[in-house]
Chains A and B, each alone.
Chain A
């Protein structure tokens, strides 16, 4: 048999530095599918104990085998019309994060919210959601949630009641404080008009009181910078679909930006080369973000040097292209990194592209950058004629960013003894306030400390009162989306623990009669949009009020400006220089508020692939200079404050920087994230301990030599596919994930199909015929950003358990969708390609042929069915799966569901999907329950399932529409077109598995002067062979 033939010119892909260097550790991993962890302790039951157990189970077995548990049916006393028991209902709702509404639609079975989706009709979502919204059902059912009001009496915590607290408000706030002298509220950012009205009422009742907003991650610098130019609170709204050239200055447009969903969708429209001309994205950033990973060109630069790069671009534009001459800097930084060839070329290329695409280019700066950068960027966009084309400046009335200086003022008042009562209304400042302000010490000086929140967190345990909040799924709410659209939240379930919502709680503090969120919001809505019932009901049903977005700023006098930049900061980092710590909210836990959600803890970080930990992320060269390597524990010091932290070496981290994700190291959160009271160690490292108010984004940092070892767990080498031995690995990766440049695609649109050539394939078996439906999936690698929302959506839809750090270390994670992250190119500045991999539903499935009990079999529509009840756990199927997508229940992950107190966790389970037990294999089912639902609905009407009827969970959530699903036998279907696309290829097609999932090769649009040369092999010499 002739060997497989690959073109040598394909890019070399690698997944980790270990793999690139072929270290012994990596070779060990490839040998073992499930790598061995520390020895498991087995306590062997004695023979006597064994017989006892046998006797007991036999007796139980006989007693209970006659009939299974008696079940009861409890129909409603009066079932509302149209309410069908056991059928899902969908309600529009909303989740507010950082003062921005995320419009959602929640699926509910018999009054239990089980799944969150995006609101298709809402411009900010268009049907997709972030991972945080997906995990909301888990959060609502978290048994660690605070379940009752608590009160500290003489240093001992006691269960209290809402009536007691009402008494405190009556006697103390209303009685003693009167005008509110000494009263302060610390609340998270909110854009809710009804809440703002309530806040006004609060300040009217207590005119002397303070009301301060605090967010650990705020866009205040952007607001300040634009305020200076437009004389208003301005929000830039980007139109990525209209932008040919995008320059992102440390702005994670596709990641943690509040409008990331719309950005990703718009961006994707320009990344499918057959649809529209491709855009080009330049990204400048210290730590890898999703935006940097999606960029055509990424320049790793220290955060403090980004302003210098902007100066250089401005200077180049003014000098060479005559753009923005008025406010352009007289000179550009040309020392240090700016003297480096790659930076110069980058600046020239960016400036050239921006100049060539006036009116269709876009420059965006991130919240980590100082106000002067934002002002300069706005001026540059104006000079380029982008305003009104790719960026709009909207007056964000009623939605200001939280200003940390207000917190500073509050804390100094607390220190000065001017605060008698502080109410932390949903904030956790003891954990996330800047460390130099020492909030905890100031808090101790406050006589009455009140905390209101979902969890008994770090602040709650230091408070005199703790009041339990209702989850947003349990309460009414309103807020403005990023574009200003008025969005409404309606409760899906009555509060599980009799918690109060923020409106009701603030109403309690006001103490002038009970405030009921629904009627209060209804009242405010009526005042704004008209009092008639129909308007209100339509808005609630739809989830938002259309046409309420912010209006554009009329300010035209945009003054040209240059950012302030100290030339000394341009120095190239050398050993001995201070490092730059880069603080950024974590891509899975955000600022730490989601720390107790196991789904998000276990979700591998999209870039580092670390789970259950954060780490000090250092670039390879910097790590070498410092003498540090993976898993080294070292002491990091910022401004005299130190923490021990594990090191993780990450390609692409800017030289001289250390990435420090926030959100970990919670000490008072829950049984997942860490709980002092129960001796549960915090997960990860608390980097807030280094973050001071003068260095919220970047700070000078020093590091010690290695002080110890800390096992980080990363999934990047798990499920390493070993095709033809280690020797062939490096080539092989390029066959799994395929990509090329726009030029390659233009020359050979089907280049991806020609990457592997193999002899004609013959099947050993008689192949199936598919006459009815033929389900298939297509995943477009060109638009996939790797945000991992699909993984969490799948977890929520399919009742997938989490396994914990130790088990992930053993390779036992259960996520059905694995997000593979490949690097290619220079390890200091690699290109990244993301690839979601789930079961490929092969027509000639290798797993099916080795199952001794026919537990995995083929359906007549081509699904690779997994029959849990037949599975005896031999794991042969997983051994024989070339894609390594099967997941085995090594332990009974759902055992605790049967325990007392875990009842609540059942609430959010999807009743349409079986909960699996120990010893069975599972894997992606192509959301067979959704196919069944669509089939039932259509066939009852005597129709066929139409294209678009079946939407898988991963497809539904995907912000960049990278995933499609449908019937391949339907000639007009989208999926058929995707499979027939020139870019489509099947992974490992040479094995003749005939996978039903097709990947569409990733196309990048590099600048000709910056592009690494990629040659394409010719088509000429292999006519008789087939392509895969």
Chain B
């Protein structure tokens, strides 16, 4: 008969059984809620790129405008990744480029090869929205939403990484209350901009909402088609 009985030591488990039964669902819910959240999964994504291009050097130290390379950002949905010929404007040695900067740098070899008729570079997409979400860069940068609001201080990153969750909830937050995330259009690519006259971003933003006619839409079809 004793074969079919729980051993005596199992009595010790009984007090914590209740706690486990109650705690497990809570734990699991929290695990999935926080574990599967874009804040956990997406933020901090920092893939290695084929060329170790440093935004910190180009946009930060050298102070190049974002639009020098991403030149379709204010006219089109896509902010174009620059073609090799753009790189060669400074790093080329031939007809296209007159810059002749770092001509023999090892890490720039793929760029030179591509420019000389080789395969184009395959950059890894860092900020990757779902395919059913249609984001339009120009609609944002023309209304005073700076690059930094979604992409962070790219001008301080050697390797670009994702700093915002880019989840739908996060998008909607700003569409509901855009004021603190707006800045004057002439400061749009100045990632470190702060209001000069001591006013808060909120105050400046409310003024700009009026000025730029900012009425973010929250319809489903704004982003999903």
Contacts and interface: CB of A to CB of B under 8 A. Distances in A.
**Chains A and B bind each other:** yes
A75 B225 contact: no
B225 A85 contact: no
Interface string B135-163: 01011001100000000000000000000
A869 interface: yes
A863 B84 contact: no
A940 B121 CA distance: 31
A75 B83 contact: yes
Interface in A845-880: 857, 859-861, 863, 865, 867-869
A913 interface: yes
Contact of A75 (B84, B96, B128): B84
Contact of B219 (A71, A84, A861): A861
Given A73-B122, A76-B120, A912 B134 contact: yes
Contacts, number: 124
Nearest to A66: B41
A199 to B, nearest CB: 39
A111 interface: no
B36 to A, nearest CB: 7
A742 to B, nearest CB: 41
Contacts of B221: 859, 863, 865, 925, 928, 932
A74 B85 contact: no
Contact of B83 (A65, A77, A865, A912): A77
B177 interface: no
B41 A67 contact: yes
B124 A929 contact: no
Contacts of A860: 217-219
A87 interface: yes
Contact of B76 (A78, A87, A869, A925): A87
Nearest to B212: A942
Contact of A72 (B82, B125, B136): B125
A914 interface: yes
Contact of A928 (B81, B82, B121, B225): B225
A875 to B, nearest CB: 19
B84 to A, nearest CB: 5
Given A87-B78, A913-B225, A940-B75, A75 B219 contact: no
B220 A867 contact: yes
B225 A912 contact: yes
A73 B125 contact: yes
B224 interface: yes
A856 to B, nearest CB: 9
A936 interface: yes
B9 interface: no
Contacts of A912: 134, 225
A79 interface: yes
Interface residues of A, number: 39
A85 B80 contact: yes
Contacts of A74: 120-123
Contacts of A859: 217, 219-222
Contacts of A73: 81, 122-125
Most buried by B among A77, A79, A867, A913: A77
Contacts of B115: 77
B131 A914 contact: yes
B83 A76 contact: yes
A216 B80 CA distance: 49
Contacts of B84: 75-78
Nearest to A78: B85
A86 interface: yes
Given A74-B121, A932-B134, A87 B224 contact: no
Chain B binding site: helix, strand, loop or mixed by DSSP? loop
A945 to B, nearest CB: 13
B166 to A, nearest CB: 12
Interface in A865-914: 865, 867-869, 912-914
Interface in A51-105: 65-68, 70-79, 84-87
A925 B225 contact: yes
B47 interface: yes
Given A914-B224, A925-B225, A67 B45 contact: yes
Given A85-B80, A936-B136, A940-B139, A869 B224 contact: yes
Contacts of A78: 83-85, 96
Contact of B125 (A71, A85, A869): A71
Contacts of B219: 857, 859-861, 863, 865
B74 interface: yes
A939 interface: yes
Contacts of B4: none
Contacts of A66: 41
A70 B47 contact: yes
B109 interface: no
A942 B144 CA distance: 13
Contacts of B10: none
Given A863-B221, A868-B132, A940-B142, A75 B82 contact: yes
A41 to B, nearest CB: 33
Given A867-B224, A914-B225, A75 B81 contact: yes
B114 interface: yes
A66 B96 CA distance: 42
B220 A75 contact: no
Contacts of B138: 936, 940
B77 interface: yes
Contacts of A86: 76-78
B109 to A, nearest CB: 15
Interface string B7-36: 000000000000000000000000000001
B132 A79 contact: no
Interface string B96-139: 10000000000000000011010011111100101110101011
Contacts of A939: 139, 142-143
A932 B78 CA distance: 14
A925 B219 CA distance: 13
B54 interface: no
A331 to B, nearest CB: 67
A813 B171 CA distance: 36
Nearest to A855: B220
Given A77-B114, A86-B76, A940-B75, A72 B85 contact: no
Contacts of B121: 74-75
B225 A79 contact: no
B9 to A, nearest CB: 33
B77 A936 contact: yes
A72 B49 CA distance: 10
Contacts of B220: 857, 859, 865, 867
A67 to B, nearest CB: 6
Contacts of A929: 134, 225
Given A76-B120, A860-B219, A912-B225, A65 B36 contact: yes
Given A77-B83, A79-B80, A912-B225, A72 B123 contact: yes
Interface in B42-84: 42, 45, 47, 72, 74-78, 80-84
Nearest to A75: B81
Nearest to B88: A78
13 contacts: A68-B130, A70-B124, A71-B128, A72-B122, A77-B115, A78-B85, A85-B80, A86-B78, A860-B218, A863-B221, A929-B134, A936-B138, A939-B139
Interface of B: 36, 41-42, 45, 47, 72, 74-78, 80-85, 96, 114-115, 117, 120-125, 128, 130-132, 134, 136, 138-139, 142-143, 213, 217-222, 224-225
Interface of A: 65-68, 70-79, 84-87, 857, 859-861, 863, 865, 867-869, 912-914, 925, 928-929, 932, 935-936, 939-940, 942
**Top 5 A-B pairs, shortest CB-CB distance:** A859-B219, A86-B78, A79-B83, A71-B125, A865-B220
Given A70-B47, A73-B125, A79-B85, 19 more contacts: A68-B128, A71-B128, A73-B122, A74-B123, A75-B80, A75-B82, A77-B83, A77-B114, A78-B84, A84-B75, A86-B78, A859-B217, A860-B217, A865-B221, A925-B225, A929-B134, A929-B225, A932-B134, A939-B142
